[in-house]
Every structure is written in structure tokens, then in C-alpha cells.
Amino acid sequence: MPSQFVRFEHDHAATVGTVLTPKFTEREAPILTDEISQAAQEGDWRVVLDLSEVTMLSSAGLGSLLTIHKACKKGGGRCVLFGLDKTIHGTLKITKLDRVFTIKKSREDALKLFG
């Protein structure tokens, strides 16, 4: 059964996850972490996350993204984000998490990192 929170496509280079919910908060974070982590493992830890539908990212959502990022790195892959709205991108800059995450402007730019 397809998830109501995230849709996955398997590109030749990476697994692309599109977060479908506008909120990435305490309610959604555990579900998204589990679903994205499972897809990441199946895709050799090479993940591109499309956050273009996300308009609210709480501290729990940030924690979830960090968990996914660390798991991908530990598994020998990487997690690349794209589609961030200005507010979320600003939050990542203020918290200096833009130095932790790889952030690209488009899906194409993100997938180029995987060759």
C-alpha cells in the first residue's frame, strides 16, 4: 500500500523520495524516518529527498532528517535535499545545518552528485 507521507521512485543513480505532507513535525517524523530509512537501505543508502511540498519543519523533522543523513553516511551513501522553501532553507542556514546537509536547487542537480 502506498504511503500517504512519501512517494519513492528508483532512479538509476539513487532512490528519490518525495515528501507528500506539508508538515514534517512530531506526528510525521517517526513515520517518515522509518519509511525513508527503509527505502534508503534498499537503495544502497543513496537518497534524494524532494521537500518541495513541505512548508513546516519542526525540530522533530530536523532530527529525522539528521537521522536519515547519518544512516546514509554510515551505510556508505549520502542523502541530498532539494525543493526547500525559503523559510526552511533559512532555518537550516541559521542553525548551520546547511553545512551538514547537501542541498541542491533541483532534482537534476541532486542526481548529478550520484553520477
pLDDT tens-digit readout, 22-54: 999 999 999 999 999 999 999 999 999 999 999
pLDDT in tens, 64-86: 999 999 999 999 999 999 999 99
Q: What is the pTM of this model?
A: 0.94
- In the numeric block, the cell 523533522 is attached to 61
How far apart (Å, rounded) are the C-alpha atoms in residues 16 and 111? 9
Selecting from 3.30.750.24, 3.40.1160.10, 3.50.30.30, 3.10.310.10, what CATH number does the domain 6-108 have? Answer: 3.30.750.24
Per-residue confidence at 109, pLDDT binned at 50, 70, 90?
Answer: very high
Choose among 84, 107, 110: nearest CA to 97: 84
| Residue 31: CB atoms within 10 Å | 15
Number of helical H runs and strand E runs in the chain = 4, 7
